[in-house]
A and B are shown apart, each in its own frame.
Chain A
Amino acid sequence: MKRFIAVSGLTIMLIFSGCSSAKETNLGVSTIDTNGWLSTVAIETVPAPKVAPTPIVVPAPAVIKVDVISLPQADGKVGKVVVSDDDKTTMLDQAWQKVETKHLDKKEILSKEIVESKYRDLLEAMPEEPNNYRMYFKYDSTDIVGDSKILMQIVEDITSNPTLKVDVIGYTDRAGDDAYNKILSMKRAQKVVKLLESKGIDNKLIALDYYGEENPIVPTEDGVANEQNRRVEVTIK
């Protein structure tokens, strides 16, 4: 059924492209006439008009104004914001800096107060940054390093807040091969999920994932053991 819709969608698009090519022809773009396959499609799907219609007046597109404003990160630093429009590109690298599309060369610095009052609804609707916890593991093992204090903190956080979801993501360092590490990262994540369940956390809240050697805390060469990268991250959303 879906496939059928997809096919008919394609047909509609072909018809549409046929129409637009006809319009362009009416507007006097002669190259379309020599475009063999496009005009063939047009003839097969749309009957050619018997009388040459009057030229179609294309309305000027409405002026679209888009403002982009860069904001500081939680740590106060300002990341770069790159804005591109057609083939033009500009970069914002200061806090509360604004650029308007169509005038990418015109930038201005607004005040924090102006941005905060104009966009109060956005700022209020922005979810808090989710709390993230890291549990570290012994080399080539699913044994957690350290005491169970962090586990109790995680459980406390989940139960005392309106938690929608708990991401439990396993990782490894780069000692050992990729495929092995992927499974090791899965076992580490499973271990943490079991611990959370044993503390009464509802399994339906938990989403387990494992990414092996990817996304390291400390980037290293392949084959290098690193105690910070051997971890499970628990993100409370």
Chain B
Amino acid sequence: MKIFNLIILLGMFSFILANEAALVKKLKGNAHIVREGKELAIGVGTKVLEKDKIITRASSSVGLIFKDNTRISVGSNSEFTVEEYMFNLSEKKEVFTTNLSKGSLECVTGLISKINPKAFQLKAKTATMGIRGTHFIVDVN
């Protein structure tokens, strides 16, 4: 019975805890994260979780480094969402789905793209458009 309760408890934890995806390594100007409908201030060292949306204002930018060493810089007046992120090599679970709905970004892909290229998906503006690669810029006008 105790074990059964524990399993339920663990299940709830895994349900509540969002995957940590990235760290804010660089920051310029004015940017914030929208997490579960709330606005959070960004600083260098801030953790970015799965489902977070990063919003930058004019003359602002954010540099991110992901758990799998993918690096992304988000330019000014941009909206960038980490839709899904999972990196666990021993469980062979890799998912990297992001969406640039506004603005620009530069991306240098890391281990997920190297080990499982199909797991990497960057959408730009519309769900029908996808980009894969090693080093590129995307600009949504």
Contact = CB atoms under 8 A, between A and B. Distances in A.
A212 interface: yes
Interface in B41-72: 44-45, 59, 61-65, 67, 69, 71
A202 interface: no
Determine chain B's interface SS by DSSP, over half rule: strand
A130 interface: yes
A92 B134 CA distance: 11
B141 interface: yes
A81 B133 contact: yes
A59 interface: no
B35 interface: no
A82 B133 CA distance: 6
A122 B105 contact: yes
A93 to B, nearest CB: 10
Contacts of B108: 73-74, 126, 129
Interface string A163-178: 0110100000000000
B63 A121 contact: no
B44 A80 contact: no
Contacts of A69: 136-137, 139
Contacts of B133: 70, 79-82, 92
Contacts of B44: 162, 164
Contact of B106 (A73, A122, A162, A214): A122
B119 interface: no
Interface residues of A, number: 45
A121 B129 contact: no
A123 B141 CA distance: 18
A215 interface: yes
A119 B104 contact: yes
Interface residues of B, number: 47
A125 B62 contact: yes
Given A211-B90, A237-B25, A121 B76 contact: yes
B140 interface: yes
Interface string A57-101: 000000011111111111000011111111000001000000001
Interface in B115-136: 115, 124-126, 128-136
B28 interface: yes
Given A83-B131, A86-B128, A214-B89, A164 B136 contact: no
Given A73-B135, A81-B136, A164-B23, A125 B75 contact: yes
A165 B23 CA distance: 9
A126 B124 contact: no
Contact of A125 (B16, B63, B125, B129): B63
Interface of B: 15-16, 23, 25-26, 28, 44-45, 59, 61-65, 67, 69, 71, 73-76, 89-90, 92, 104-106, 108, 111, 115, 124-126, 128-141
The 3 closest A-B pairs by CB, nearest first: A79-B134, A81-B133, A125-B61
Interface of A: 2, 64-74, 79-86, 92, 101, 115, 119, 121-127, 129-130, 162, 164-165, 167, 182, 210-212, 214-215, 235, 237
7 contacts: A67-B137, A72-B135, A125-B28, A125-B73, A130-B65, A164-B25, A165-B23
